[in-house]
Amino acid sequence: MRVLRLRATTVVLLMLCLMYFITYLDRVNVSTAAVGFGKEFNLSKTEVGLVFSAFAYPYLVFQIIGGWVSDRFGARRTLIWCGLLWAVATILTGFAGGLVSLLLARLLLGFGEGATFPAATSAMSRWVAKENRGFAQGITHAFSRIGNAVAPAAVVWIMATHGWRESFYICGAISLAWVVGWAFVFTEDPAKHPRITPQELETLSHVKKKNVTVAWGPLFKRMLPVTIVYFCYGWTLWLFLSWIPQYFLHSYDMDIKKSALFASSVFFAGVVGDTLGGIVSDRILKRTNNLKKARSYMVSICMLLTLLSLIPLMMTHNIVVSILSLSAGFFFAEMTIGPMWALPMDIAPDCAGTASGMMNTGSALAAILSPVVSGYLIDRTGSWELPFVGSMILMGIGVVLAFRMQPESKFKHVPAMPEEADTGVKHHA
């Protein structure tokens, strides 16, 4: 009997897909579990918003640090230690006894997850061919949105069967299992993987890993427009992830099971958007060989479509309109993910982890502000639609700023030692 053997590059990409799925499962399960612990601990919407956003403070700090660590010491070790930390944090959330312990557990989760996406991008810069980077970033983030979509229904089922605490214990155990798998299947250098084939290596445009001294100031300046655009996107993302499950529950007086189903339908639209966005971006690149069209133009158009999709939400209070408007808005917002996360690899391939960490500080800052501001607006006005006005304004800003990202202009890195720059290996533009 012939056994199907997956290519080494496919296995690595699948492991990264699982990581994105698990990190978002661990990250957003709190949005649905809030129905349980919010009632048990008698928390206001503003306090629940603080719980949602608490993880984002260390998450913000560790974006750039984690990116640099993964570039310097490798994605394998970085993700092993990160995985252990976020798994423990998830389990400890289940042991929370009130607002303070909830906040502390979420802060620890932020420490664990802060370096994950920059480290994954650093790994992809060596394990994914240039012409497939949009797809790779799109499909991995699609799995994160599957985590978003699965979390509400899964947590509701666990809460109904056992309780809200058990949902965190189970998610933590899944995280620990992933860490073991990652330690066994990933090597920093694709050429050293025991199952890599010559054909696979030929497609990777492989460059030997060098020690690179990051020119922090110039790189930060180069990535600043990308970071601001990603903040504009991140505001909408964290508004959706934090409040959509409760939006249907309270705005339309649904029971928890029905609201979880509606929330999952919105998040599944994001799964399709992530996947399609990466595919479309790569196809534009292959046909035009123009990074500006494949990345900047596409992000700008998708942000405009997101803005337009949310307008009906402001005009009528109707469940069908709400579902269609939110699903379309999330779909187009997520179509930006593939091209956005390909940008750090396009701009700074030799320090892609650091560059992607800088970019993701935009989303991390939005993760701090968006849930709390939204919760405050809901508490003060009673309107569940008003927070989406901020998303529309920021998406409009992103439409304009996306043209300043300039992916076609590659950042010039600084080798750690002069002799390391002369390796005899040609760099691919």
- What pLDDT was estimated at residue 5? 66
- What pLDDT was estimated at residue 18? 93
Instruction: For residue 246, give every residue at least 6 positions away whose Cβ sits within 8 Å of its Cβ, in sequence order, or none.
Output: 31, 34, 35, 259
Q: Is the pLDDT of residue 228 over 90?
A: yes
Q: What is the helix (H) or strand (E) element at residue 415, kind and residue range? A: strand 414-415
Q: Is 174 contained in some domain?
A: yes
- What pLDDT was estimated at residue 414? 54
Residue pLDDT, tens place only, 79-131: 999 999 999 999 998 898 888 998 999 899 988 888 888 888 888 888 888 77
Over residues 312-329, mean pLDDT: 88
Q: Is the pLDDT of residue 137 over 80?
A: yes
Low-confidence winner among 120-129, 154-163, 214-223, 269-278 (lowest mean pLDDT): 154-163
Provide φ and ψ at 213, rounded to 5°.
Answer: -85, 120
Q: Is the pLDDT of residue 420 over 60?
A: no
Residue 212 — pLDDT band, cuts 50, 70, 90? low
Structural domain harbouring 65: 8-188+215-409
> How many CB atoms lie under 10 A from the CB of residue 205?
16
Angle in degrees, 0-180, between the axes of helices 116-127 and 75-93, rounded to the nearest 10: 150
Q: Is 421 contained in some domain?
A: no
SS (H, E, C) 170-238: HHHHHHHHHHHHHHHHCCCCHHHCCCCCHHHHHHCCCCCCCCEECCHHHHHHHHHHHHHHHHHHHHHHH
Query: How far apart are the C-alpha atoms of 240 and 256, rounded to whole Å?
Result: 17
Closest CA to 122 of 385, 423, 349, 394: 349
Query: How far apart are the C-alpha atoms of 22 and 94, rounded to whole Å?
Result: 17
Q: What is the pTM of this model?
A: 0.75
Q: Give yes or no for a contact between 160 and 38, defined as CB atoms under 8 angstroms apart.
A: no
- What pLDDT was estimated at residue 150? 78
Q: Is 195 contained in some domain?
A: no
Residue pLDDT, tens place only, 265-306: 888 888 899 889 989 998 999 899 888 999 999 999 999 999
Over residues 338-362, mean pLDDT: 86
Over residues 401-408, mean pLDDT: 88
> How many CB atoms lie under 10 A from the CB of residue 198?
7
Q: Is the pLDDT of residue 370 over 70?
A: yes
> How many CB atoms lie under 10 A from the CB of residue 315?
10
Q: Which CATH number belongs to the domain containing residue 333 in this structure?
A: 1.20.1250.20
At 295 the three-state DSSP class reads helix
Q: Is 426 contained in some domain?
A: no
Q: What single-letter amino acid sits at 237?
A: L
Q: Is 420 contained in some domain?
A: no
Q: What single-letter amino acid sits at 119?
A: A
Q: Is 309 contained in some domain?
A: yes
**Over the Cα atoms of the chain, what is R_g?**
21
Over residues 121-145, mean pLDDT: 84
- What pLDDT was estimated at residue 194? 82
Query: How far apart are the C-alpha atoms of 110 and 27, rounded to whole Å?
Result: 9
Over residues 129-147, mean pLDDT: 83
Mean per-residue pLDDT over the chain, rounded: 83
Q: Is 244 contained in some domain?
A: yes
- What pLDDT was estimated at residue 180? 94
- What pLDDT was estimated at residue 33? 82
The structural domain count of the chain equals 1
**Tokens 């009130």 correspond to what residue?**
98
Transcribe 121-181 into DSSP letters.
HHHHHHHS-GGGHHHHHHHHHHHHHHHHHHHHHHHHHHHHHT-HHHHHHHHHHHHHHHHHH
Residue 151 — pLDDT band, cuts 50, 70, 90? confident
Q: Is 138 contained in some domain?
A: yes
Closest CA to 108 of 142, 57, 67, 66: 57
Q: Is the pLDDT of residue 429 over 50?
A: no
Query: How far apart are the C-alpha atoms of 225 and 406, rounded to whole Å?
Result: 9
